[in-house]
Amino acid sequence: SVEGGCFNMGSTKGALLEGPVHEVCLSSFQIEKHEVTQKSFQTVMKTNPSRFVSSDLPVESVTWQEANKYCKKIGKRLPTEAEWEFAARGGLKNQTFPWGSEPVEKGAAKANIWQGTFPNTNTGTDGYMRIAPVAKYAPNAYGLYDMSGNVWEWCADWYNETYYKSLSDNITKNPKGPETSYDSNEPYSQKRVTRGGSFLCHNSYCSGYRNSMRMKTTPDTGSIHTGFRAVMDAQ
């Protein structure tokens, strides 16, 4: 269970995608310790969309609609983008990564990302060339695994590039995301937010494994590096 609180959401690093930084306050909620596994998904949904099939790997190639349906079936829901980022930060104030500020390349392996030179050479020094089983790296201070890397994680929210700006002058309580999606790069595509980066993220072009980094994807898209985890309101 994650105790509610207030935090600075977003970052000055990511320009349009991640700014402006704005204050958000959340109620307490429960979030799963790791990404939903293929085994769990198969048990509930009687199907497994994944490309790399193994029961202890996170489910991947899963669309937003499928993830949403799974959550409903087990009486949970997808996290809001604010809940996801608050959980990833693990109570650390204004840090870049779930573990703090130390660069991902330094010290012990912290997350499953692309190491080496993208896209030619992945050295695999984090132990995995592709997707990793859940919970193979140290958790953050909230006991949550793989908030950085492995697979991107679907959030409940629509993506709208002007949304953060609309919140920047106020303290927002339990934001649920914008009512409509808008991405000027693809104005006719409706998109949902994904968070956390994946095993294909490298510092040179994505740094998707930073707490504040956001991506946006059409909800009918399933890719080999996208999964999810479920949340529920605190009981």
Q: What is the pLDDT of residues 128-171, one digit of tens each?
A: 889 999 999 999 999 999 999 999 999 999 999 999 999 998 99
User: For residue 102, what are the contacts with CB-CB under 8 A and spacing of at least 6?
Assistant: 110
- Residue pair 157/192 in contact by the 8 Å Cβ criterion: yes
CA 54 to chain CA mean position, Å: 21
In the prediction, which pLDDT does 106 show?
86
Instruction: Write the burial class of residue 49 (CB in 10 Å: 0-12 exposed, 13-18 middle, 19+ buried).
Output: middle
In the prediction, which pLDDT does 14 show?
61
- Judged by DSSP in three states, 226 sits in strand
Is residue 58 pLDDT above 70, yes or no?
yes
The percent of residues in the chain predicted with pLDDT above 90, rounded, is 81
Distance CA 174, CA 181 (A): 19
Each residue's pLDDT tens digit, 159-209: 999 999 999 989 999 999 999 999 999 999 999 999 999 998 877 666 778
Nearest to 229, CA basis, from 89, 77, 90:
77
Residue 226 tokens read as 């996208």
Strands in 22-26's sheet, in edge-to-edge order, are 5-9, 22-26, 172-173
Residue 95 tokens read as 């840090």
Residue 15's pLDDT band, with cuts at 50, 70 and 90, is low
DSSP of 201-216 = --TTTT-TTSTT-EEE
Query: Which residue type, as a one-letter code, is found at position 163?
Result: Y
Is residue 16 pLDDT above 70, yes or no?
no
Q: Name the CA dihedral angle for 31, 32, 37, 41, rounded to a multiple of 10 degrees.
A: -60
